[in-house]
Amino acid sequence: MLKRHFDSEYKVLIKYYKIRGVGRKMLQFKKDDLYIEQVKLSDIAKEYGTSTYIYSKSQIVNNFENYKKALSLKEGLICFACKTNSNGAILKLLAELGAGADTTSGGEIYRCLKAGFDPSNIVYAGVGKTAEEIEYALKSKIFMFNVESFEELDAIDKIAGKIKVKAKIAFRVNPHVDPDTHSYIVTGKKGTKFGIPYEDAVNAYLTAKQKKNIVILGIHSHIGSQILDVGSFKLAAQKIKKVVDAVEKNGIKLEYINCGGGLGVEYTKKQKAPSPKQLMSELFPVFDADKKFIFEPGRSIIANAGHLLAKVIYKKVSGGKSFLITDAGMNDLIRPTLYEAYHEIIPVKKTDDKKVKTDVVGPICESGDFMGKDRMLSVVEQGGYLLITCAGAYGFAMSSEYNSRPLLAEVLIDGDKAVLIRKRATYEDLLLNEV
């Protein structure tokens, strides 16, 4: 009986907002109020203020378990790309679930160690690793470096020699494929700054073989982000396989195939995201059966588990357009501004009013400061709340104090419990390191 009640509510939600995949099960209306899991969002606003990032624990667990299950056919590791969301509570949760971490800086390695990741499950990519970062990573005994240039290889070899350890590496090889996604997040195309150019890959391995302090473990490629077409991953894998064959012919064994991250999520109802299982069932057969695999999902673990709750400060009509001005701005969520990204926006209170075409904008002094344009939204009054959905990845992580706006609070929901996992910053915090 209870279940049927929830199911019908859930259908109402789908029909009302035609949401697909946006944390579907974890986000639902009960009567007129929007809930994440069993917590009413207007209660979160009252308790913690706005704007606030809110995450669903069960959605995170669900997303990670899908990867883990899909990989269970092979040996390997799911390394959460922690640049997407590096809150310690979320990292700790993923570490406890058995995730490894994909890091891009010394700071991320530090956060991951603090959150309880086993260093032997941490991989480290990035085109500009400094000597200090390399030394820190080596001393922390991370699993491996994803090396992106010949000069970086030299640097790692030298520093490893200096502190008398061996550095385990894979080369990040740029397979020169061009997935269909925003140009700022394409990384595997010819002419981007990432990885060893495809034609130099074999030479890179031959060079590494001569280095005294380097141990070659595998090969890595990461072609971009928000990719919805499994075909791009497969094409990249087929090109990587050619490198693997050529390298192994030279007597260098590549134990690990790191396929990177980049799997897209459903920001709009038109998008259809492949599952980890679909992805892996395309990629596994490309390589020999004995290979171990690493995947580095970020967005597809955390995007649809997180949402930004904002308050409507004012309404106004200007130049024939309706605006809702919220307390969330581009400094809090920069994706719409930076990538012209679309986030579904849902009023937290359901009404029967007819819908009005509205721009949802922030308070910042930039025309690029918007959360959504030309949205058909039911009427929301001053003081009402909006949920900007699917904002868990590259949301808080890319936020700043621009316009001297303190960083936001973050809340993790687990069933009927809400836990504060980051305090809202204060005005004093704005001056913290000034001397």
Ligand X SMILES: *Cc1c(COP(=O)(O)O)cnc(C)c1O
Phi, psi values for residue 301, rounded to 5°:
-95, -40
Q: Is 225 in the site for ligand X (CB under 6 A)?
A: yes
Residues in 286-325 at the binding interface with ligand X, rule: CB under 6 A: 296-300
Query: What's the min distance (Å) between Cβ of 303 and ligand X?
Result: 8
Residues in 343-372 at the binding interface with ligand X, rule: CB under 6 A: none
Closest to ligand X by CB, 9 vs 178, is 178
Q: Is 149 in the site for ligand X (CB under 6 A)?
A: no
Closest to ligand X by CB, 64 vs 385, is 64
Q: Is 335 in the site for ligand X (CB under 6 A)?
A: no
Q: Is 222 in the site for ligand X (CB under 6 A)?
A: yes
* Per-position x/- string for 261-290, each x denoting binding to ligand X as judged by CB under 6 A, each - no binding: xxx---------------------------
Query: What's the min distance (Å) between Cβ of 60 and ligand X?
Result: 14
Stretch that binds ligand X, among 8-16, 44-52, 255-263, 267-275 (CB under 6 A): 255-263
Closest to ligand X by CB, 111 vs 222, is 222
Query: What's the min distance (Å) between Cβ of 371 and ligand X?
Result: 21
Nearest-angstrom CA–CA distance, 431 and 414: 34
SS3 of the chain? CHHHHHHHHHHHHHHHHCCCCCCHHHEEEECCEEEECCEEHHHHHHHHCCCEEEEEHHHHHHHHHHHHHHHCCCCEEEEEECCCCCCHHHHHHHHHCCCEEEECCHHHHHHHHHHCCCHHHEEECCCCCCHHHHHHHHHCCCCEEEECCHHHHHHHHHHHHHCCCCEEEEEEEECCCCCCCCHHHECCCCCCCCCEEHHHHHHHHHHHHCCCCEEEEEEECCCECCECCHHHHHHHHHHHHHHHHHHHHCCCCCCEEECCCCECCCCCCCCCCCCHHHHHHHHHHHCCCCCEEEECCCHHHHHHHEEEEEEEEEEEEECCEEEEEECCCCCCCCHHHHHCCCCCEEECECCCCCEEEEEEECCCCCCCCEEEEEEEEECCCCCCEEEECCCCCCCHHHCCCCCCCCCCEEEEEECCEEEEEECCCCHHHHCCCCC
Residue carrying structure tokens 């899908």: 66
Closest to ligand X by CB, 235 vs 325, is 235
Residues in 68-127 at the binding interface with ligand X, rule: CB under 6 A: 81, 83-84, 102, 104, 125
Query: What's the min distance (Å) between Cβ of 293 and ligand X?
Result: 14
Active-site residue flag, 365: yes
Judged by CB under 6 A, the residue of 260, 347, 372, 384 near ligand X is 260
* Per-position x/- string for 9-48, each x denoting binding to ligand X as judged by CB under 6 A, each - no binding: ----------------------------------------
Closest to ligand X by CB, 23 vs 297, is 297
Query: What's the min distance (Å) between Cβ of 228 and ligand X?
Result: 11
Closest to ligand X by CB, 101 vs 418, is 101
Closest to ligand X by CB, 266 vs 369, is 266
Annotated catalytic residue, options 79, 112, 259, 365: 365
The site that binds ligand X (CB under 6 A) totals a number of residues, namely 18
Phi, psi values for residue 365, rounded to 5°:
-80, 65
Residues in 377-416 at the binding interface with ligand X, rule: CB under 6 A: 393
Which residues are catalytically annotated? 365
The footprint of ligand X (CB under 6 A) covers 81, 83-84, 102, 104, 125, 222, 225, 260-263, 296-300, 393
